Amino acid sequence: MRRKVTVVGAGNVGANVAQKIAAKELADVVLVDVVDGVPQGKGLDMLESAPVEGYDVRIVGTNGYDETANSDIVVITAGFPRKPGMSRDDLLLANYEVVKSATEQAAKQSPNAILILVTNPLDAMCWTAMKVSGFKRERVIGMAGVLDTARFRTFIAEELNVSFENVTAMVLGGHGDTMVPLVRLTSVSGIPLAELADQATIDRLVQRTRDGGAEIVKYLKTGSAYYAPAASTVEMVESILKDKKKVLPCAVRLEGEYGITGLFVGVPVKLGKDGVEKIYQIKLDDGEKAALQKSADAVHELVTVLQQKTQ
């Protein structure tokens, strides 16, 4: 049976997600955007590379949701990037409206879909999508930890001049300044990072990971990262569609795990055909616990703003 993935938002992240899904022949893709012509044009352009690339999937772009019906997965990347003069709250509320409307329409057409959120501020947008869709927490998942972990792995591999593939790491917490790279559980082919690099080096790599998104924005000036975010999203899509059961750090709604309730926070989960199939509660030391709680507090602050302004 053919699988279908809807990607809402045909901008930098969305178009790259669509293209990577097609290139891996994971599913047919429906690309949705509010701008007339853009999803249609990008969708057709991608389709026209099928004979050259050799993939047999259908890709269609649209401004509506009819064609998204019965999607297995809906990836939401729609939203505004932050502009000069905008406060964090302004971005939060603008993207709340976008994610709310996208979720409402997509969930209506695909009531059994798994939602993957990419729009920022990520953890608050996951909260929005869950509230609007009424879906169970197993089917509302945020992409952040895979990207933050990929950045950490990249910086470690470069620093040590080893294969990127050999570096295993786990970054927990919210997608922001308060993310929690777990150095204790980071290794190169099983060798703990602490045996390969001194503390000052590790601290520098951790800080670069925290600032990973900002580093790209500084270069691009008019937008944020999209190649690594798209690749990270597609790793999640693939694990679900192929029921690979990969263990990945994703934003999920915690209900008591790690002492946190009612908030989306990045933790290790198993991703398979049913979405989040298990939440791993790993033992954290006191410093890690405090850092995760601080991260949850930052997420709580944004959700409180949403609750107050959207009543």
What x-and-dash track marks residues 87-126 binding ligand APR by CB under 6 A? -----------x--xx---------------xxx------
- Residue of minimal Cβ distance to ligand APR: 11
Smallest gap from residue 49 Cβ to ligand APR (A):
20
Helix H segments across 221-285?
227-241
Selection from 173, 182, 132 nearest residue 152 by Cα? 182
**Per DSSP, which regions of the chain are E strands?**
4-8, 28-32, 59-62, 73-76, 114-117, 140-142, 167-168, 171-172, 180-181, 187-188, 191-192, 246-255, 261-272, 275-279
Question: Considering only residues 6, 12, 68, 109, which one is a binding residue for ligand APR as defined by CB under 6 A?
Answer: 12
Q: Which residues are catalytic?
A: 175
Does residue number 8 form part of the binding site for ligand APR (CB under 6 A)? yes
Smallest gap from residue 125 Cβ to ligand APR (A):
8
Nearer residue to ligand APR within complex by CB, 187 or 224: 224
Smallest gap from residue 243 Cβ to ligand APR (A):
26
Does residue number 272 form part of the binding site for ligand APR (CB under 6 A)? no
In 3-state terms the chain splits into helix, strand, coil percentages (rounded to 5) of: 50, 20, 30
What x-and-dash track marks residues 228-257 binding ligand APR by CB under 6 A? -x----------------------------
The three-state secondary structure class of 262 is strand
Return the amino acid letter for 305.
Answer: V
- Residues numbered 180-219 forming contacts with ligand APR, rule: CB under 6 A: none
Smallest gap from residue 87 Cβ to ligand APR (A):
15
Smallest gap from residue 118 Cβ to ligand APR (A):
5
C-alpha separations of 96 from 101, 123, 174, 218, 262 in Å: 8, 11, 17, 25, 18
Provide the sign of the torsion angle of the four alpha carbons 2, 233, 266, 243, taken in this order: positive
Q: Helix axis angle, 212-220 relative to 145-160, nearest 10°?
A: 90
Question: How far is residue 152's CA from residue 302's CA, in Å, rounded to a whole number?
Answer: 25
What x-and-dash track marks residues 68-87 binding ligand APR by CB under 6 A? ---------xxx-x------
- Residues numbered 21-50 forming contacts with ligand APR, rule: CB under 6 A: 32-35
**Which residues in this chain contact ligand APR in the complex, by CB under 6 A?**
8-14, 32-35, 77-79, 81, 98, 101-102, 118-120, 223-224, 226, 229
